[in-house]
Structure formats: structure tokens, C-alpha cells
Amino acid sequence: MDHFIVGVTIWSLLFAVYDGTASRPAPWLKGIIFGVFTWLMMVTFMHLAGAEFFGAKVDISTHIGLLVLNLIFGAVLHVTYGFLGVVARSESP
């Protein structure tokens, strides 16, 4: 549950800041870049869960699977953020 709450609140707010400041990459690429960033942060702090630094106790397939999941998270976050921006613009007078 904690992982879900952090993903919905903190990472979403950080993505909004990132999306507002980074004008360079294509919109879909922003989500992918952000997904890689969240994966790197997760792998960096895996030692807190007992997997040693950078998840040394975890096999490579787990790392790849987590990367894919974080890329999907970044893409979904971008699509949702873009959709909410369109809805907010259409509802404003």
C-alpha cells in the first residue's frame, strides 16, 4: 500500500514538475525517461529491503521485470497527466 501511495502522490507531483520544466523530449519520451528515473531510485534503495546495494541479491530477470513495470508506470503517468491537462483546459472558461 505504501508503494502505491508514494507512486500516486509523490512521483505524480515530481512528474508534474518534470513535465513543466523539460520542454525538449517528445511528450511520450518524458514518461519513459521518468520511468527509468523511478527504476533507478528503486534499485538504489533496494538495500533497505534487504537486497543489498543495487539489489545484488536479486537476479537480472527481476531487475528487467522491474524496469519494464516502471517504464509502463511512466507511460501511464504521462498519458494520465496529458489527459487531465486536456480535461482541465476544456473545462476552463
Share of the chain above pLDDT 90, in %: 8
CA-wise closest residue to 11 among 65, 61, 89, 80 = 80
52-86 tens-digit pLDDT = 766 667 788 888 998 999 899 888 888 887 777 66
The answer to whether 44 and 54 have CB atoms below 8 angstroms apart is yes
Integer CA distances (angstroms), 75 to 6, 20, 32, 45, 60, in order: 17, 16, 6, 22, 23
pLDDT value of position 80: 83
pLDDT value of position 51: 65
pLDDT value of position 68: 94
Residue 92 main-chain phi, psi, to 5 deg = -75, 140
The answer to whether 78 and 30 have CB atoms below 8 angstroms apart is yes
Helices 10-21 and 27-44, axial angle in degrees (round to 10)? 130
Mean pLDDT of 12-25: 80
pTM of the model: 0.70
Domain ranges of the chain: 2-91
